[in-house]
A and B are shown apart, each in its own frame.
Chain A
Amino acid sequence: DVKVTQSSRYLVKRTGEKVFLECVQDMDHENMFWYRQDPGLGLRLIYFSYDVKMKEKGDIPEGYSVSREKKERFSLILESASTNQTSMYLCASSSSLGPTQYFGPGTRLTVT
């Protein structure tokens, strides 16, 4: 079974802090994604990566950056957390052979 893990299920940070969200997949997938999930807005793509050290902006990249130094690991960085970044963050991965994605359990981030 594909396994995608995220470093924390729940996280509480203060405004202005730098926040790191980590995602690891064990299926040797080329593609990795970061989404945020908000009620009524569904899943919105923040960034994705199709190879090590490669990244592309999604639909809502403002206020976020990413890092992919190893194939299995994709990090989402909030340089200076703000209250409007309080949300559920989901990581996913997929093979280059097809678009089906496998998701991690999510990190619920609260910024106070």
Chain B
Amino acid sequence: QQPVQSPQAVILREGEDAVINCSSSKALYSVHWYRQKHGEAPVFLMILLKGGEQKGHEKISASFNEKKQQSSLYLTASQLSYSGTYFCGSYGGATNKLIFGTGTLLAVQP
């Protein structure tokens, strides 16, 4: 079952904050976040392991609540370079594959 991301799309002004959510119907071992800039390959941002720890990349951080099977990505003081499509990937621990979410399109405007 594919994780569901919300919102589907968000438009921000530079300096504003945003939150992207990822919900899975299955138990998660870890959650992975990727960003795909327009016309480019998706790039790994960070991995969240069980334990609810937060991770950071630039001014982007994330949390993982394994009980709720949810992860959230926090973009603080957004920059133009943050624009792109963000994907969460759920990992159940049993296989080599990630199940990617539906994606969130983020557009940061000047």
Contact = CB atoms under 8 A, between A and B. Distances in A.
Interface of A: 4, 30-31, 33, 35, 40-45, 48, 50, 58-59, 90, 94, 96, 99-106
A102 B8 contact: no
A99 B28 CA distance: 13
A42 B42 CA distance: 11
Contact of B41 (A48, A50, A99, A106): A106
B30 A99 contact: yes
Contacts of B102: 40-42
A24 to B, nearest CB: 14
A99 B91 contact: yes
B97 A58 contact: yes
A78 to B, nearest CB: 21
Nearest to A32: B96
Interface of B: 2, 5, 8, 30, 32, 34, 40-44, 47, 87, 89, 91, 96-103
25 contacts: A4-B41, A40-B103, A41-B103, A42-B5, A42-B87, A42-B100, A42-B102, A43-B87, A43-B103, A45-B97, A45-B99, A45-B100, A48-B96, A48-B97, A50-B96, A94-B96, A99-B89, A99-B98, A100-B32, A101-B44, A101-B98, A103-B41, A103-B42, A104-B41, A105-B41
Contacts of A102: 44
A43 B32 CA distance: 13
A107 to B, nearest CB: 11
Contacts of B87: 42-43
